[in-house]
């Protein structure tokens, strides 16, 4: 009996459970740990369990679960999975060019490490910063660690800027960012990842009324958890537009 071959259109809808950002590491590391598990079975069998668990962790780390992005005007969704570690003010935020509210999210090795756009907008800035690999739970990791920043301009309120900062941790040694200046991102759209434990920060202008919807210690999911809501009052939109024009 000949099995039916799925229609081409059906094939295109098939979705991989793993992120394309990590196919190389997934195949290589999982194969190595599985091979070591097989070899250790004949040498010292308890090691088989350890290597098997490591292989399972690699597979789990590069998972890419589907996410249902909430709809509604002015919503900001979390750019990463993890735990909210701090909500604070900074005086001169990168790209925003002034005071901003910062929301820090720590990603453990058990978190999904894919980064998603917090809102719909145009990529107006991408900046890479060399740095250290301090534990991402420490406050100084925000400024001292290797990082990549993605700045978005929003269509509404016009001229509003937000920034997502991908920060390496003690284990993470590679940041992936596939977007470039001029690209348009939808709310919740994937644009990169940080591999093996890290930190992600979201910056929003402090002079805009933003209702923060999360608290310190709260677990969040990228593209799903509403992290805040921008006030889209027409008068505020006009002020933001005037500020944007002056900076240009």
Are the beta carbons of 102 and 202 closer than 8 angstroms? yes
Catalytic residue among 141, 142, 168, 198: 198
Does 141 participate in catalysis according to the annotation? no
d(C-alpha 223, C-alpha 226), whole Å: 8
- Catalytic sites, residue numbers: 198
């Amino acid at each position: 009996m000949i099995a039916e071959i799925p229609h081409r259109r059906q094939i295109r809808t098939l979705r991989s459970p793993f992120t394309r950002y990590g196919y190389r590491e997934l195949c290589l590391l999982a194969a190595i740990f599985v091979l070591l598990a097989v070899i250790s079975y004949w040498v010292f069998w308890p090691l088989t369990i350890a290597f098997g668990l490591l292989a399972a962790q690699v597979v789990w780390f590069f998972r890419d679960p589907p996410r249902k992005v909430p709809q509604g005007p002015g919503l900001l969704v979390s750019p990463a999975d993890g735990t909210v570690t701090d909500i604070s003010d900074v005086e001169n935020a990168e790209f925003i060019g002034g005071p901003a509210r910062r929301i820090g999210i720590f990603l453990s090795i058990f978190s999904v490490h894919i980064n998603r756009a917090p809102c719909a907008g145009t990529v107006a800035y991408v900046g890479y910063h060399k740095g250290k690999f301090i534990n991402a739970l420490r406050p100084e990791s925000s400024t001292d660690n290797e990082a990549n920043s993605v700045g978005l301009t929003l269509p509404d309120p016009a001229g509003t800027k937000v920034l997502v900062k991908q920060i390496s941790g003690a284990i993470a040694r590679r940041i992936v960012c596939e977007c470039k200046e001029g690209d348009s991102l939808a709310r919740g759209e994937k644009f990169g990842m940080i591999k093996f434990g890290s930190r992600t920060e979201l910056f929003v202008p402090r002079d805009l009324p933003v209702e923060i919807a999360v608290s310190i210690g709260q677990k969040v999911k990228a593209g799903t958890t509403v992290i805040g809501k921008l006030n889209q009052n027409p008068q505020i939109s006009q002020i933001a537009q005037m500020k944007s024009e002056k900076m240009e």
